[in-house]
Amino acid sequence: MILADTGFFIALGNNGDRYHSRAIQVISTLREPLIQLILSLQKLAIFWREMLG
């Protein structure tokens, strides 16, 4: 299992993020499940709400 923090998911979903390409590369080569913490999900929801208005 791999623990993924908020920044990884932001980069994954935002093609303007400087780490977007790397996040896509990582997610496409993973052989283990990702673990996402509840706190990170909350932070991610707040980030996307602010970005999308």
Give the model's pLDDT for residue 49: 85
Structural domains in the chain (count):
1
Give the model's pLDDT for residue 46: 84
Is the distance from CB of 34 to CB of 2 less than 8 angstroms? yes
Give the model's pLDDT for residue 3: 83
Residue 36 vs residues 2, 5, 16, 41, 44: alpha-carbon distances, Å = 9, 7, 22, 7, 11
Across the chain, which has 53 residues, the per-10-residue mean pLDDT values are: 86 93 95 80 81 76
Domain enclosing residue 29, as ranges: 2-52
Give the model's pLDDT for residue 26: 94
Quote the crossing angle between the two packed helices 38-52 and 6-13, to the nearest 10°. Answer: 40
**Two tokens, residue 38:** 């509840």
Give the model's pLDDT for residue 11: 92
Strand partners, 3: 35
